Amino acid sequence: MSTAYKDINNYPVRRYVDTHIHLDMYEEDRASAFMSALGTTAGVDYVVAVSMHLESCKATEVLASCSNRVLPAYGYHPEQELPSEEAYAALFAWMDQRQSQMRAIGEVGLPYYRREEALMRGEPFHREPYIELLEPFIKRAAAWNKPIVLHAVYDDAPIVCDMLERHSVRKAHFHWFKGDNKTIQRMAANGYYVSFTPDLLYEAEIMQLANQYPSGQVMTETDGPWLFEGPFVGRSTEPEMVKSVAAKWAVLQGLSETEAADILYRNAQRLYEF
């Protein structure tokens, strides 16, 4: 059905994308090893390099300047303290000057795990300031027509869906998504994308999501350097692990590995426009 990309000898070449990696969080030599493998048969073709805060955005910008296969995303990760007013202003001023260079806005979202931990300790947690912080990122995604990379799981996801709908944002990527069926259906109907990490190989909840989410809206990622379990235990996370994720998705979908890799690649290509 799909025409697989062929190499010069007419063998099918499988192409892969790590649509979510914190490349700036790796040691320099490790990041450059990943980057020199991009576009070779040993590596993946592209990575979407997300950022945590302004310093991280600057580091991501340097990495992206070394390879056009590193697609930079700038934002403020929600699982940390809120930025000071100065840091907030500095980040947006910096981003506003780089509208044309950035491929996406991210990583942004809501602090599910931080809130869970606070509640477990019996401490109050105020989600509202994080919602207020997310709003200007979503507004920019709408105004700039850029994809937005979201960290929004479980009961945070419907809140983020409300915000995206309010601003008519359709190019949304919920990375490593976990949530209820109603929200999954809403996201799928809105055309939002999700991506699977290596835990697709051993987490029933993620396999379930992979079985029900539209095949035209799914991608692969590592969230590296985050470490994985199951068959990946003891291994440091690298972009090439998305090949195992794609192979697992192929099995779940009853597709050949080449067909599955092709669909996953084209989905990422459509959203991130490379």
Q: How far is the CB of 270 from Zn ion (least distance, A)?
A: 21
Binding mask 106-125 for Zn ion (x = CB under 5 A): -x------------------
Q: Which stretch binds Zn ion (CB under 5 A): 62-70, 162-170, 205-213, 215-223?
A: 215-223
- Phi and psi dihedrals of 204, rounded to 5? -60, -40
Q: Which stretch binds Zn ion (CB under 5 A): 1-9, 86-94, 99-107, 211-219?
A: 99-107
Question: Which position among 45, 199, 223, 238 is part of the footprint of Zn ion (CB under 5 A)?
Answer: 223
User: Is the Cβ of residue 43 or residue 224 nearer to Zn ion in the bound state?
Assistant: 224
Chain centre to alpha carbon of residue 179:
16
Helices 242-253 and 204-212, packing angle to 10 deg: 60
Q: Which stretch binds Zn ion (CB under 5 A): 58-66, 105-113, 131-139, 205-213?
A: 105-113
Q: How far is the CB of 9 from Zn ion (least distance, A)?
A: 37
The DSSP symbol for 81 reads P
Residue 45 found at the interface with Zn ion (CB under 5 A): no
Q: Which stretch binds Zn ion (CB under 5 A): 110-118, 136-144, 217-225, 257-265?
A: 217-225
Which class for 19: exposed (0-12), middle (13-18), buried (19 or more C-beta within 10 A)?
Answer: buried
Beta-carbon count within 10 A of 263 CB: 21
Distance CA(130)–CA(147), nearest Å, equals 20
Distance CA(109)–CA(160), nearest Å, equals 7
Query: Nearest residue by C-beta to Zn ion?
Result: 223
Q: How far is the CB of 157 from Zn ion (least distance, A)?
A: 15
Extract the tokens encoding 111: 């602090």
User: Is the Cβ of residue 18 or residue 262 nearer to Zn ion in the bound state?
Assistant: 18
Which class for 211: exposed (0-12), middle (13-18), buried (19 or more C-beta within 10 A)?
Answer: exposed
The residues binding Zn ion (CB under 5 A) are 107, 223
